[in-house]
Structure 1
Amino acid sequence: MGQAGGVTDLELDVLRIAHGGVAVAEHRGRVVFVADAIPGERVLARVTDDRHDRFWRAETVRVLDPSPDRVPHVWAAASVDRAPEQRAGGAEFGHIAPARQRALKGEVLRDALGRIGRLPASEVDALAPEVAAVPGRPDGTRSRTRVRLHVDRGGRVGPYAARSKRVIPVRDLPLAVEPLERLLPERARGRELDLVAAGGDAFAAGPRDRRPVIEERVGDRTFRLEALGFWQVHPAAPQVLTDAVRAAVDPALLDPDADNLDLYGGVGLLAAALAGGRDVRVTTVESDRAASGHARANLADLPRARAVEARVDAFLEAERTRRPGATVLLDPPRSGAGAEVVDAIAASRPAQIVYVACDPVALARDLGTFADRGWRAASLAAFDLFPNTHHLEAVARLVPDA
């Protein structure tokens, strides 16, 4: 961290929210990204990084004029009442009333669509949804079935401090489902500790511990997967996304006999959403060997579903074929699909594309690239599957631009 050029604390008027869970203020013409603040507040903030010409970073140390949406933090270990360097990371919106959290996430999504995606304001206005609440506690606690903690040199267990590799020992995990909190040890060996809840069971695993295969139930379907393999962390998320994908797919454009695809398919959740009950031909593509193997087994009862183990970019490059009438699903990692994959999908000319995203900036960038290739977003839904954090999930449907 750079020294603050002789400036330690600043009184700042907080202007707006930024991607990443920090707010934006200005000081003498310079942008200051300030953590643990809410737009509309006046705070005393400590500059922690002044190395950049265009912006500084700061941490709120005292709230001088609080927002009416400020609430007691859902996790005392992350509260502004603690010194900034002692605050647990991973709950950066926990001091904000849930409805305002969702409104701020919607602002970030709108900004990304226009600024990063370069979508016209009229299109952003038509698309940008409210970020919807999902089933669970109103305050967003007990909403994680998977938690990764870290272990310091003394064996103490906790999350990293925000924007740091410093372990903050904690005695509670209010964002985790209760069985995981009960597993929280004071001390552990190794560098990391994973807590996982699935199917009524919960376990803790260090780096060298055996990781069992677990089962997750979504509707009337059971999915098997590696205990630390990818799965949505919110208990309601798999069903919410299954329903959202089914709602996004235009049935008039869905050809059951077309070469439909589920890219970055994991263990087959979204392929099942597309094919289940509708006898739809679909190929799910996943690069992780274990996940692809589970997808093959999880979809075995669907006669026209198949699983392919391959990198998505390599699969599309090898196929290089048009898919008239096809529906293409994709659920890329947080970094997004990227131009190469977008180009290949667009070039195959399917009937519709359904894009599931966990990062609004990556989504906006890829939607902008699709727009350059002649595709427009026809619908967009967003869900608060990561309450008390800045993250959200979104589902967009794209069609060829008329």
Structure 2
Amino acid sequence: MVNPDRRGNRARRRPTRPQTAAPRAARPAPAEPRTDGPVLELDVERIAHGGVAVARHEGRVVFVADAIPGERVRARVSDDAKAKFWRAETVEVLDASPDRREHPWAEAGVDRAPERRAGGAEFGHIGMGRQRALKAEVLADALARFGGVDEAVEVEAVDPALAPGADSELGTGWRTRVRLHVDAEGRVGPYAARSHRVVPVSSLPLAVPELAHLAPLDERFAGAQAVDLLAPSLGNPWVVVDTGETTRGGGRQRIEEQVGERVFRLDRGGFWQVHRGAAATLTAAVQGMVDGELFDPRAANHDLYGGVGLLAAAVGDRFGDTVRITSVESDARATEHAGANLADWVGARAVTGRVDRYLGELAASASPAERERLRAATIVLDPPRSGAGRQVVERLAELAPRQLVYVACDPVALARDIGLFAERGYRLDAIRAFDLFPNTHHVEAVARLTAIV
């Protein structure tokens, strides 16, 4: 464990038994992309979900990394020749877009061989304004194709005042959590794109400054699986070595995150938004998205996939100390923290449970009076990247709440669920999108759906 002293120096102490992050289930490594495939000249047509552009070669779709729509590039095919479509990595730009710029992370730039490019900053070669425009295109296309909604969306930048130390023009200095992987020789670095190949790097420009300076990029960690960097908004930053073994209390040390005047407590290894300004941005967005005329503080309001209570508190802070709201989260430790973080509201409670099962039990056991309170309810949900899914949508529609505020980090999953809600009597009233992951293809959206009367 590494923790700087109050003067900002790298005060280093090596515990006998290193702190470890919570163990993760082993996942099969993806097949490594080919490095000897054919090189094609391609005209890049448009952007696709997932951070790659679309081109065609003799009728076959080619998904091209590190390219911008409108460019002509030379790209190396990394898939098997018999694949239905191909993936390829740009190796040379023949006709550059006016939006192309020098990548702010040298180790991820197109001048490096694709197998040596650091992953995790796949839009870094694109100017910030065009990045947001492309993300808006992907979101609007998903809404039309999967949600049946024709809706133009603007992707908004995070207010610079919410992320001190970040460079909004370069899209750097915003990540408060970084995972570095460790290879067989103990070297640390990010994975190359679509690979489990560790790429040693000399810088981490997307990280907040205190992590960028603290990262042990030139050290070896033999026998470790990863090195996690963490910079909470309150207290000192951390460097945590993950050995893949459970060390008592290793992932349960408490940290604090401040959003406005409110402080949230959570486990060091627990989930929190990665961008320094994301929690405040989403708090304000959810507060603004709830239709006050439809909100009933006495109803059976819920925050589903509630984590440590961030969005439940957002609702409570807007509507006052009489608000009734239940946070539902499958992680017992997060629920424990949510209970404490929501203590200001007598009508707030935190429940541990899977959302689909909780809703099923609620539908089966609710009394007529409880059903009435559910029909008057506002439901906030912030599901994982895969979205809420059909079963949760069906159970929510059965309970028939008055309005839903859906926070999503995946455009396709959000659009699919909006389509499912539409089939069950809900319409999309409003949507906003935020660039909480600059220099990547990811985008966060907040949508309001209301029951069609």
TM-score if structure 1 supplies the norm length?
A: 0.95
1:289 and 1:259 mapped to 2: Cα distance? 22
1:203 and 2:261 are equivalent in the alignment: no
Matched residue type, 2:210? P
- Correspondence for 1:242: 283
Partner residue of 2:362 out of 319, 323, 328? 319
Select which of 175, 181, 198 maps to 1:167. Answer: 198
Partner secondary structure for residue 442 of structure 2 = coil
Q: Which residue of 1 aligns with 2:8?
A: none
2:333 to 281, 286, 290: 290
* Post-superposition offset of 1:109: 0.3
Report the AA paired with residue 131 of structure 1. Answer: V
Does the C-alpha gap of structure 1 residues 346 and 157 become closer, same or farther in structure 2, counting only changes over 3 Å?
same
Please, which of 69, 87, 108 is the counterpart of residue 57 of structure 1? 87
* Distance in 2, Cα, partners of 1:114 & 1:392: 17
Counterpart check, 1:148 vs 2:189? no
Q: Which residue of 2 aligns with 1:350?
A: 401
CA distance in 1, matches of 2:47, 2:173: 25
- 1:216 corresponds in structure 2 to 257
* Residue identity matched to 1:143: W
**Aligned with residue 233 of structure 1, among 274, 283, 298:** 274
1:3-402 to structure 2, matched below 5 A, reads 8-51=38-81, 53-117=83-147, 119=148, 123-125=149-151, 128-136=152-160, 137-138=167-168, 139-185=170-216, 186=218, 187-189=220-222, 190-198=224-232, 199-208=234-243, 210-211=250-251, 212-276=253-317, 278=320, 279-320=322-363, 321=366, 322=371, 323-402=374-453
Spell out, residue by residue over 1:169-223, the C-alpha distance to the aligned partner (whole angstroms, 9 max, x if none).
1111000001111222122240111100011411111125633210000011100
* Counterpart secondary structure, 2:255: strand
The Cα shift of 1:7 comes to 6.3
SS where residue 70 of structure 2 aligns?
coil
Instruction: Provide the secondary structure at the position in 1 that maps to 2:231.
Output: strand
Amino acid at match of 1:166: R
Question: AA paired with 1:240?
Answer: T
Q: Deviations over 1:304-341 (max 9, x none)?
A: 11100111111101100431210000000001011000
CA offsets per residue over residues 356-377 of structure 1, 9 Å max, x none?
0000011011111111111111
Q: Give per-residue Cα distances to partners, 1:84-143, cap 9 Å, x unaligned.
A: 0000000000000000000000000011111122x1xxx423xx3200011242221001
Percent identity, aligned pairs only, is: 61
Amino acid aligned to 1:130: E
Within 2, Cα distance between the matches of 1:124 and 1:149?
Answer: 40
Partner Cα distance (1:370, 1:324) in 2: 15
Query: Are 2:32 and 2:195, in contact at CA under 8 Å, matched by a contact in 1?
Result: no
Asked if the contact 1:38/1:70 (under 8 Å) is kept, the reply is yes
Partners of 1:111 and 1:146 in 2: CA distance: 30
Once residues 188 and 80 of structure 2 are traced to their aligned partners in structure 1, the CA distance between those partners, rounded to angstroms, is 31
Give 3-state SS (helix, strand or coil) of 2:150's partner: helix
The 3 A distance-change label for structure 1 pair 280 and 62 is same
Q: Pick closer, same or farther for the CA change 1:297–1:60 going to 2, 3 Å.
A: same
List gaps (5 residues or longer) in structure 1. none
Q: Matched residues in 2 for 1:360 and 1:213: separation?
A: 32
Q: Residue 314 of structure 1: SS of its match in structure 2?
A: helix
* CA distance in 2 between partners of 1:298 and 1:183 (Å): 30
Taking the aligned partners of 1:91 and 1:394, their CA distance within structure 2 comes to 20
Partner amino acid for 1:202?
A: P
Q: Which whole-Å CA distance do the structure 2 matches of 1:65 and 1:76 have between them?
A: 21
Structure 1 97/292 Cα, relative in aligned 2: closer, same or farther at 3 Å? same
> In structure 2, do the counterparts of structure 1 residues 49 and 314 end up closer, same or farther at CA, with 3 Å as the change threshold?
same
3-state DSSP class of the match of 1:389?
Answer: coil
Q: For 2:158 and 2:81, how far apart are their aligned partners in 1?
A: 40
2:375 is paired with a residue whose SS is coil
2:27 paired residue number: none
- Aligned AA (1:191): Q
- The offset of 1:52, in angstroms, is 5.3
> What letter corresponds to residue 136 of structure 2 in structure 1?
G
What amino acid is the match of 1:312?
A: V
Letter in 1 for 2:323: V
Q: Following TM superposition, by how much is the alpha carbon of 1:276 offset from its aligned partner in structure 2, in angstroms?
A: 1.9
Q: Which runs of 5+ in 2 are unaligned?
A: 1-30, 161-166
Report the aligned-residue RMSD. Answer: 1.5
- Alpha-carbon separation, structure 1, partners of 2:60 and 2:207: 38
User: Aligned letter for 1:194?
Assistant: D
Partners of 1:360 and 1:336 in 2: how far apart? 9
> Does the CA contact (< 8 Å) of 1:106 and 1:129 recur in 2?
yes
TM-score normalised by L of structure 2: 0.85
Q: Distance in 2 between matches of 1:361 and 1:303?
A: 37
Q: Which residue is 2:16 aligned to? A: none
Structure 1 counterpart SS, 2:126: coil
- In 2, the alpha carbon distance for the partners of 1:274 and 1:91 equals 33
Moved over 4 A (4+): 1-4
Residues 71 and 354 of structure 1: CA distance in aligned 2, closer, same or farther (over 3 Å): same
Amino acid at match of 2:410: D
